[in-house]
Amino acid sequence: MQKCGVPVKPELPPRELLPRHLAIIMDGNGRWAVKRGLPRVVGHRAGVETLREIVKACLEWGIEILTVYAFSTENWKRPREEVDTLMELLVEYLQKEADELHRQGVKIGAIGRLYELPEKAQRELMRAKELTARNRKLLLNLALNYGGRAELVDACCAVVRDVLRGKLRVEDIDERVLNSYLYTAGLPDPDLLIRTAGEMRFSNFLLWQSAYTELWVTPVLWPDFRREDLLAALHDYARRERRFGGIK
């Protein structure tokens, strides 16, 4: 948008029309690197830089929760070298960014089967979570070794254990109760889910929580995703009428 030849920065939608909880499938790092004739690890590093900028934008714009798909339960199937690199990048990110995120008021959280991550990654994640535990400006929720189906299996197993222990009655189990056993217990469902790189699927991400989440897909690869792209998604979201199965 331009005025008299001078670019005009698009305005942010009204605060009440912004999502409270934003989720992102950060896809396309490998393809970004391959297109440039570079090793895939370069794409993953570029993706970390994009995450840094999007976290800043969410802080500035008052989004309360940002959940990002950082490593899925299926990603272990990738070549060992790439998996090792991703784990190293996770540790590096937490070591470099935790203190700055803490100063900015960001709380670091994580969901997934975290106990299966390498010990060093678990230690750094625990340190970052403890350091930022009292922050309230933004919850940066990292989905690590996360799978929506695995989450539902883990929740069902926990429910069964509590029933067998007499802590829960079968007849009391409903959506609210099951929701309290999910990794995301206590968090609101995502209002908006962004997927980069143009793929039209959930890829096992937040399957239960996304029942009424608004979707926004862009062909932009994650390392190329910028504030302007996020702003476009927020404007599109602000124009939507959310009915949750009802009629308005």
Catalytic residues: 27, 75
CA 171 to CA 168: how far, in whole Å? Answer: 9
Type and span of the H or E element at 127? helix 119-132
Q: Are 54 and 222 in contact (CB under 8 A)?
A: no
Q: Are 181 and 159 in contact (CB under 8 A)?
A: yes
Beta strand 106-111 with 65-72 is: unpaired
Q: Are 10 and 234 in contact (CB under 8 A)?
A: no
